Every structure is written in structure tokens, then in C-alpha cells.
Structure 1
Amino acid sequence: MRKPKIAIIGTGGTISSLAGHPLEILNYGANGSLECDAVVAMFPVLNELADILPIRFKAVPSFNIYYPEWRDLLRLIRETERDDPDIDGFVVLHGTGSLEETAYFLSLTVETPKPVVVTGAQRPPSALSSDAGLNLANAVRAAGDPACRDMGVLVLMNDELHAPRDVTKVSTLRLDTFRSPDKGPLGFVDGDAITIYRRTVRRRAPADRFDIAGLEALPRVDILYCYAGSDGAAARAFVGAGARGVVSAGFAPGYTGDADAAVLARAVQEDGLVVVQASRGGSGRTFESRRARDSGFIPADDLNPQKARLLLALALTRTSSSEEIAELFRLY
């Protein structure tokens, strides 16, 4: 039986870092980042699971990754598949801080129908009880398993497979930090099998992807975090900076304070700003309240603010119509 052929692309992060002591699980970033092939070499058992093709990309702290890296990553995936059609799937190594955003962006834009599994680690490979090796091995297994075909981009952490649209990092240090509020994982990667229990029904790539070919930058979209006593200063700053969209991380179940809402509603009317009403609550959907409708705000459904920001930015590459963007939020 032929082993699957899996390309592993390294973008840096904890999974590619080394500390000077097995108990150092916090301050290891200053030691630099290993190239992808060096990470793979630390775990020779991977070669029992698949024919591994390690691909160097660039080491970028996850808090600094944005559109230029995402665009280059998409191009690398496309060119790798073109040059080697025998590739069965891809694994992307990533820092956990913005892993959910990279995975969601890929899930909306990637061109390949083959599995793309994004994984990382909470503890560096040098640490006692590091999760790096098993996360990497399980990501390789998932990328090459028929059960994961036609599921688009997946996030693999802590033996669980999650949909990028749903998953978020909920804890700074715990190993089970990645959760999908209200929905749970799509399935599990256990020692004996990969089991899938549900699939996402929302639109995603490659069938319904956003085409970013030739796009040099995403439209500016900012996130306004709502809090008691906010006086509208941040909202005015975002409008003044030329934002084409703003996501309001509002009070649950989805309200923006009066001072901020007044600034944003005026910009909707006068400047064509598109405002999406999300919630800072961590789970649950926002709805089309009378207050939001009167202000011209679009419900984010159950997307968290950072995911709503990405969908809004991509939506603005297609249209500036609030009605059409609201429909995209209902579909995606």
C-alpha cells in the first residue's frame, strides 16, 4: 500500500522553536526558529506515516503574520501541487497566536481540494511533555487520510480536528486551548483511527473561494472593542484612518455603546463605511436587532470579531453593497 505524500510547510511558531532547558516553556522565542526540514528531522517517526516533503517558507511570529504571508503561502501551495501532482495533502506549521486567522483565511481562498491541515504547539519541541511531535504526526495522518478529503482546510490540535470558521484559541497556556464554541470538533485523531462526526455546511474554498489573484493588499478593516465608558474616540480614529469596514466587538448579544454607535452610524450614512456587529462574548450569534438595523450594521452571525474582520475584508474585494455583504455573512 502506497504511503501518502505530504508536504509540510513551516511558518515558524512554537512548534519550530527550541528552548535551552526542558522546563522552559515560556521564554524560548529569543532562540530563533528552526527551518521546516529541521523540525521534521526531530521526529523521524513521521517517515513511517508518509513520504514527507518539507518546504521552507519563512519564520514569522504569529502576531506578525498577515496578508503578504498569506498570499505567498497560497502561491506556494499552488506551485507545489502544480510541480508535484502526487502530493496527497499539506500540513502548515504555525504559531498558535493567530493560527485560527491564517486557517480561516486559507479556508476561504485556497485553490486545492486536497486536505490542508494547520497545526502548531503550545510547548516547544525541546520541552518536557511537548505537544509538538504528536500534533505534527496527527496532522500528517489527517492530511493523508481519505476521511479528511473534501473537508477543506482543517485545524489539528490536541487530537482534535476543527473547522477554521469555528475554532478559536481560548487559553494562553493550556494544551487544550483550541475550542469550537457551541459546536465542538469535527472529529478526532486517535491512535487507531481518524473519526469524523460532522461537517461544516457553510461555503468555503475551493468551490466557493474568494479569488485574490492580483490583489496587493486587503481593504482596511478594523475591530472596535466595546467597553463600558467608551466615548467614541477609537471609532473616530478608525474612520479617520480610512477604514472601509469596522467590526464592532460589541456587548453580548451584540450591541455597540451609544457614543461609538453614533460615530459608526454617521460614517455608514456619509462615507459608505460597512459595519459588522459581532460580540465580545466568546460564543453565540448576533442577530438583526432594531438598533443594528437603524444604524445600518450587519450581523456577524456567530463569527468571532477576528474572523468577521477577515470575511468582511474579503467581501469588500467583491462589493461595497451592504445588502450583498450581509448575504455573504449568511452564506459563509
Structure 2
Amino acid sequence: MRKRVAFIGTGGTIASIGKGPLDTVNYGANGLMLQADGILERFPEVQLVADVFALPYRNVPSPQIAWKEWQELVLLCDKVVAENPDLAGIVIGHGTASLEETAFFLSLTLKVPVPVVVVGSQRPASALSTDAGLNLVNAVRVAADEGARGLGALVLLNDEIQAAREVTKTSTGRMQTFRSPDVGVLGQADGDKVAWYRRPLRRLAPDTEFDIRGLDALPRVDIAYSYAGADGTAVRAFTEAGARGIVVAGFAPGFVTPGDAAALLEAKQMGVTVVQSTRAGSGRVFPTTKLAEAGFIPADNLNPQKARILLSLALTVSSEPLEIERIFATY
């Protein structure tokens, strides 16, 4: 019996139609994006691997995707599972610019029992040698695979299956842009089978403590990028804007300039939670004496954009430092 998979399209390069087969850079200026059903029609091969149906949503440039769209996608996943008890999995098409953030948010907040795979492409659907079609086919294959269950939200591009927590975009234009530093892929979607090699150990959907269904907004959390000579201006601006949390993209393995340090201590005194990440792209922030004395929480190996999402969700549960530390050690 063929497995059923739902496809939700949110736009992005995977949905884009350029001005011709060699338009691989400026296709966004054409202003044409396919809806989910149009993508399935353009790549009918997806029906060879499962019974795939489109779920109406809307096209949103991925730099514009944030809280509102995340909540809508969580609720849409709830709805399609409730209405289709035989559903094997869900695939979400997404622009690659913020794909890793959407995937991580979903991996922390989804409550559905079926696999959810987020997929994008580096070349538009209209381009010569586009990766859109094969990425979509492989995402469907993974979503329908029993091995994908219980792994949280997954990311599929370039034949590689990545965990939402670790994956990040590392190149603007190359096909192998999505990488999971330090830990690597979960598996590969090869021509003969979906091959699995490891499972995430950190807690993830659907077994999480975060429920965003009744929320009107997430607590404001900003990212302060530390650089040589940074004087704390950004930190103070975020504090004045009402930030309840600040994630620091600091020097590796977890330092900031004296100017930023002073501003962050001021923010702490005003009740702002500070999480120390780094701009390095991989590796842990260690729980040093210096961080503990300042009251800053280490982000472990989460990059700044992922740490921001986890801190926002953590603040919906508690503002106690020990609880925030527990959450960062758990997820």
C-alpha cells in the first residue's frame, strides 16, 4: 500500500521560476513562485515514491518567516494529521535563508507523531540542473520512512538527512551548503534506500515541554554580535527595546569585549537573561567560572540563531536561571 505524505509549500528557491534555464542568481526579480500544488505538478516524479498531496498555505520569502508563520505551520501540521489518520509524514518546502531556524523551531514545538521534513533547494525550479525536484522526492521518501519517526524535524537537501538542532547553512550558492558541524548527518537518501547512521540524543518533538498554540507572541530575544571594539551599543539598544533575553554571538570559545561585557551586566541587573554563544560556527561554549560569576548561561554548541529560538521558548516556561540552564542542557 502506497504511503500518503502531505506537502506544504512556503515559497523559497524551490518554488521559484526564473527568466530562463540559466537564471540561477537573479530569479527572485522575476517575482514568480509556484504554490504547493504547482510544485507537485512540475515534479510529478514525487508520485512515484508516495501518494503526495498539496496542503494550501502561502508563499513567504524566507527572511520574512518568523513567529506568526511558525505557529501557523505547527497548527497546520496538527490539522492535517487529525484529518488524515493514515498520514505517513509531512514535507515542508522552504527558502534556504532561514530554513534552519524554522526547522529547529518545529523540532521543539511540534506535537504530531509523524515525521516532518523541511526541504529547500539552491537552484530555482526552472534552472538547468535544479536540485529542487530530487530534493523534493528525497524529502518525501524520508518523510514516509519508518526510520524518520521520533527524530524531531529533519532537513533534507543534497541527498543528506540532517537533524534540525545542528544543521546550518554554510555556503551562499553551493549544493552542499547545509552542514551539521561536529556531529554530521543522520543519514542519506540514496538511490536504492534511505540509509540511517545515527540518532539525536537531545530531547525533541513531539516530547517537549513547549506549547505555543495559545501564545500571542514569543518573548523578545535579540542577538548581539561581538566584534573587535564593540562598545555595548547594540546590547543597550536591545535592552531599551524590551528584550527579555539576549544571545551573544561572541568570540570563540565564549568571550566578549569589555564594552559588551559591561552592557550585558547592566542588562542582567534589569532582569534580562543572557546566553553566551559564539560566532565560530561549531564547538561548545564551556561553563566557565567567569561565565558563572557574570550570570551568563552557556549555549552549549548551539549557534546564535538556534540559541535565540531556544531561549525564546524557554522564557515561555520560566525566567529562573537554573531552569534556563536545564533547558539548554536538555534540548
TM over 0.5: yes
2:58 aligned residue? 58
2:293 aligned residue? 294
Q: Is the 8 A contact 1:22 1:128 kept in 2?
A: yes
Runs of 4+ in 1 over 4 A off after TM superposition: none
Structure 2 distance, partners of 1:272, 1:207, is 29
2:207 aligned residue? 207
User: Could you tell me how far 1:261 is from its partner in structure 2?
Assistant: 1.0
Matched residue of 1:292: which SS? helix
User: After the TM superposition, which residues 58-77 of structure 1 pair with which residues of structure 2 at under 5 Å, given as runs?
Assistant: 58-77=58-77
Q: Percent identity at matched positions?
A: 55
1:174 aligned residue? 174
Point out where structure 1 has 5 or more consecutive residues left out of the alignment: none
User: Could you tell me how far 1:101 is from its partner in structure 2?
Assistant: 0.2
- State the one-letter code of the partner of 2:167: V
Matched residue of 1:303: which SS? coil
User: After the TM superposition, which residues 9-88 of structure 1 pair with which residues of structure 2 at under 5 Å, given as runs?
Assistant: 9-30=8-29, 31-88=31-88
2:260 aligned residue? 260
Q: Is the 8 A contact 2:123 2:132 kept in 1?
A: yes
- State the one-letter code of the partner of 1:125: A
For residues 111-160 of structure 1, what are the alpha-carbon distances to aligned partners after superposition, in whole Å with 9 as ceiling and x for unaligned?
11211000000000111111000000000000111221222211001000
Matched residue of 2:7: which SS? strand
Q: Is the 8 A contact 1:24 1:127 kept in 2?
A: yes
Structure 1 distance, partners of 2:281, 2:237, is 25
User: Could you tell me how far 1:165 is from its partner in structure 2?
Assistant: 0.2
Q: Is the 8 A contact 1:115 1:148 kept in 2?
A: yes
- State the one-letter code of the partner of 1:166: E
- State the one-letter code of the partner of 1:290: T
| Cα RMSD, aligned residues only | 0.8
2:325 aligned residue? 326
Moved more, 217-226 or 79-88: 79-88
- State the one-letter code of the partner of 1:18: I
Structure 2 distance, partners of 1:86, 1:79, is 13
- State the one-letter code of the partner of 1:220: R
1:273 aligned residue? 272
Matched residue of 2:52: which SS? strand
Q: Is the 8 A contact 2:75 2:213 kept in 1?
A: no
Q: Is the 8 A contact 1:111 1:209 kept in 2?
A: no
2:233 aligned residue? 233
Q: Is the 8 A contact 2:46 2:137 kept in 1?
A: yes
1:91 aligned residue? 91
Structure 1 distance, partners of 2:143, 2:253, is 37
Q: Is the 8 A contact 1:165 1:307 kept in 2?
A: yes
Point out where structure 2 has 5 or more consecutive residues left out of the alignment: none
Q: TM-score, with normalisation over the residues of structure 1? A: 0.98
How has the CA–CA distance of structure 1 residues 37 and 309 changed in structure 2, closer, same or farther, with 3 Å as cutoff? same
2:131 aligned residue? 131
Q: TM-score, with normalisation over the residues of structure 2? A: 0.98
- State the one-letter code of the partner of 2:287: E
- State the one-letter code of the partner of 2:242: G
Count residues in correspondence. 330
Matched residue of 1:88: which SS? strand
Structure 1 distance, partners of 2:311, 2:223, is 11
- State the one-letter code of the partner of 2:145: D
User: Could you tell me how far 1:209 is from its partner in structure 2?
Assistant: 4.2
Q: Is the 8 A contact 1:110 1:209 kept in 2?
A: no
User: After the TM superposition, which residues 106-255 of structure 1 pair with which residues of structure 2 at under 5 Å, given as runs?
Assistant: 106-255=106-255
1:283 aligned residue? 282
Q: Is the 8 A contact 2:115 2:144 kept in 1?
A: yes
Q: Is the 8 A contact 1:114 1:152 kept in 2?
A: no
Q: Is the 8 A contact 1:154 1:161 kept in 2?
A: yes
Structure 2 distance, partners of 1:19, 1:157, is 20
For residues 51-95 of structure 1, what are the alpha-carbon distances to aligned partners after superposition, in whole Å with 9 as ceiling and x for unaligned?
111112110001000000011111111111111111110000000
Matched residue of 1:45: which SS? helix
Q: Is the 8 A contact 1:122 1:174 kept in 2?
A: yes
